[in-house]
Amino acid sequence: MRFVVKLGGAGLENPKLLHACGKAIADLVADGNQVAVVHGGGVQLTRTLAQLGKKSEFISGLRVTDAETRDAAIMVLAGRVNKSLVASLGTHGQSAVGLSGGDGHVFRARKKKTNPDLGFVGEIASADSRWLEAIWTMGAVPVISSIALGFDGEYYNINADEMAAACAISTKADALVFLTDVPGVKGADGSVMRWLTLGEIPALEKQQVISGGMLPKLNACREALLHGVKRVRILPAESAVFLPDLCSTRVNDGTEVMVA
């Protein structure tokens, strides 16, 4: 099977969780699956920007990105965070190739049109999975940071959830899994919804039951499901150990997002 795993938040920040996520991904490959990892690094970027004296601002879960913030994102996401993930997989004997969405033109971006303007925030305009296929042929894991190159020659900061969905769609993945800081999507009563259909999302959004960073995540889930990805799961990073069992056994952690 073919998996796309999106990793962010504590899964990147906490060494113990990073180790566990790396092992789960390596186990998936050992079981004969092809796996691509897409990662963010918002916590690390916010910390670096604070060290540079810049305040982070978000609108509807997306970071306002001026040129200086964009350059910092390239440094942090495509640099330290990406290479730490490659190293983590390596400790489990799994070879990995780190790249940004701009490398090999795997993902091309265009500026996201928003009001107010978010600066160098982009959306995926096109994808070419040939480099990912080549990496899989060598038995390695492509590890992709959420930076993409625009047709105007500028790099754009891409929401990692959106890039993960685009990656799953372009590679015709069987499953897309978001490893997150939260236990899943919570309903109005505060309990985790084990199953969530696309039709239920607008009402939850209108009632502000879901907001902030969960909005782009669920939009990414919708895009993936409507473009052929069979299974989409939001799973807490602490439950990464269940990754190899997701499609073969019943896993009660997290939220399964479904078309209907």
In sequence order, the 6+-apart residues with CB closer than 8 A to the CB of 53 are none
Q: Using CA atoms, how far apart are residues 221 and 177, in angstroms rounded to an integer?
A: 9
Instruction: Decide if 175 contacts 1 (C-beta within 8 A).
Output: yes
Predicted confidence at residue 253, as pLDDT, reads 87
SS3 125: strand
- Given a cut of 80, is residue 258 above it in pLDDT? yes
pLDDT tens, 15-35? 899 999 999 999 999 999 999
Please give the DSSP secondary-structure letter assigned to residue 78: I
Q: Which of 117, 89, 93 is nearest to 21 (CA)?
A: 89
Q: What is the pTM assigned to this prediction?
A: 0.93
What number of residues does the chain have?
A: 260
- Residue 104 has a pLDDT of 94
Phi, psi (rounded to 5 degrees) for 148? -135, 155
Rounded to a whole number of angstroms, the distance between the first and last alpha carbons of the chain is 23
What digits encode the pLDDT tens for the residues 36-45? 999 999 899 9
Nearest to 80 by CA among 69, 88, 92: 88
Fold adopted by 2-258? Carbamate kinase (3.40.1160)
DSSP 200: G
Contact between residue 199 and residue 258 where contact means Cβ atoms under 8 Å apart: no
Which positions ≥6 away from 152 have C-beta within 8 Å?
Answer: 111
Report, as an integer, the average pLDDT of 180-197: 90
pLDDT above 90: residue 112: yes
| CB 148 within 8 Å of CB 110 | no
d(CA 82, CA 146): 10
Q: Which residue from 49, 37, 44, 104 is spatially nearest to 77, judged by alpha carbons?
A: 44
Binding residues: 41-42, 63, 157
**What is the percent of the chain with per-residue pLDDT over 70, rounded to a whole number?**
98
pLDDT of residue 129: 94
pLDDT, tens digit (0-9, with 9 covering 90-100), for 46-84:
999 999 999 999 988 789 999 999 999 999 999 999 999
Buried b (16+ CB within 10 A) or exposed e, 147-181: bbbbeeeebbbbbbbbbbbbbbbbbebbbbbbbbb
Contact between residue 127 and residue 109 where contact means Cβ atoms under 8 Å apart? no
pLDDT class for 245, splitting at 50, 70, 90?
Answer: confident
- For β-strands 62-63 and 58-59, DSSP reports them as antiparallel
How far CA 26 is from CA of 37, 131, 133, 188, in Å, comes to: 11, 20, 17, 36
Q: How confident is the model at residue 12 (pLDDT cuts 50, 70, 90)?
A: confident
CA distance 83 to 87: 6
Pick the range with the lowest mean pLDDT from 8-12, 136-140, 218-222, 246-250.
246-250
What is the model's pLDDT at position 194?
A: 92
Q: Which two tokens stand for residue 242?
A: 């269940």
- Measured CA angle at 244 (ends 240, 248), to 5 deg: 125
Identify the band that residue 8 occupies on the pLDDT scale cut at 50, 70 and 90. confident
- SS3 call for 139: coil
Q: Summarize the annotated binding site for substrate as residue ranges.
A: 41-42, 63, 157
